[in-house]
Amino acid sequence: MYGVLVIGAPGAGKSTFCAGLTDIFTQIGRPFCTINLDPANDTMAYAPDVNITEMITVTDVMDRLSLGPNGALKYCIETLGDNSDWLLQKIEANSKKYMIIDCPGQLELYKSEGELWKVIRHLEKAGVRLCALHLADSLYCSDPSKFISVALSTLATMIAMEMPQVNCLSKADLFSPDGTYDLDFFSYLPDVNRLLDLLNEVPGLERYRRLNEAICGIITDFDLVSFVPLAVESKESMMKVIQLVDTANGFSLTEQGDLRELILNSKT
């Protein structure tokens, strides 16, 4: 059983990507199963085959327990964790299909030993091979401080989730080429210190020079973060991301009759 776990901040385009993925899979003839794990998402651009709202919703929890939106969301995911066998049974009933799992955007849910972390570990132990696809809005590239925050949160997710992860700059078709650096710079992050110089020029942030240096130093020292530009409207862009995800979760191995053929294709 294979699948992709679509994560990222609210507004990054997770549901839009999932909808685009269903279109691509329909065109190439790959069976799929869509799963919505966001109990607050009721405006999806696709029809989920499995929906956490069958079990619990944020609105119900807020009304019943008088919690705020974030507290209610945390409670919903905790409930999912306590009933993770329900999700596993749904997945096993569609074991011949590729799983597209749409997740909530709150970063705190992905911390080590967090609610979603426990659910994912339960699925992996049952043989579900997942790759996380982290979406970040490419519009943040226009502001050095915002992009550094995106890179740092992406790094935190990679460390905490402990699973294969592909990072994408979503809405790449809306990226403005008029900035200091082009999209390739933000994709490969050759030198974060070049952003540090811009960060120290932002009014109000120059006083935090040492803090800025420490933050950029963390990103540089781990040397894990890179991004792939993603435009959902572009079939070529979508297929590139799908190929990366399939390689990371091992699905590409199931489509190769001979491992030597896979190695030769990867070199061409």
Q: Does a structural domain hold residue 154?
A: no
Q: Does a structural domain hold residue 36?
A: yes
Q: Does a structural domain hold residue 149?
A: no
| pTM, 2 dp | 0.86
Note the pLDDT of residue 3: 94
Say how far apart CA 217 and CA 206 lie, in whole Å.
Answer: 17
Note the pLDDT of residue 114: 72
pLDDT in tens, the chain (268 residues): 899 999 988 888 899 999 999 999 999 899 999 999 998 887 788 889 999 999 999 999 999 999 998 899 989 999 998 999 999 999 999 989 999 999 988 877 877 667 788 889 999 999 999 999 999 988 888 778 888 888 888 999 999 888 999 999 998 877 766 665 667 777 776 677 777 777 777 777 778 888 888 888 888 888 888 899 998 888 999 999 999 999 999 998 876 554 455 455 555 5
Residue 7 contacts residue 110 (beta carbons within 8 Å): yes
CATH code of the domain in which 239 resides: 3.40.50.300
Q: Does a structural domain hold residue 212?
A: no
Q: Does a structural domain hold residue 198?
A: no
Note the pLDDT of residue 179: 60
Note the pLDDT of residue 194: 76
Q: Look up residue 245 and give its two tokens.
A: 């995800």
Q: Does a structural domain hold residue 166?
A: yes
Q: What is the DSSP string of 105-149?
A: --GGGGSTT-HHHHHHHHHHHTT-EEEEEEEEEGGGGGSHHHHHH
How many domains does one find in the chain? 1
Q: Look up residue 69 and give its two tokens.
A: 């939106």
Contacts of 161 (CB under 8 A, 6+ apart): 110, 117, 120, 132
67-94 exposure pattern, b = at least 16 Cβ within 10 A, e = fewer = beeeebbbbbbbbbbeebeebbebbeeb
Residue 110 contacts residue 160 (beta carbons within 8 Å): yes
Residue 133 backbone dihedrals phi, psi, to 5 degrees: -115, 105
Q: Does a structural domain hold residue 43?
A: yes
Note the pLDDT of residue 88: 93
Nearest to 137, CA basis, from 169, 165, 105: 169
The position carrying tokens 């990366």 is 244
Q: Does a structural domain hold residue 209?
A: no
Domain housing 78: 2-143+162-177+226-255
The position carrying tokens 């579900």 is 128
Note the pLDDT of residue 259: 46
Q: What is the DSSP string of 222-238?
A: H-----EE--TT-HHHH
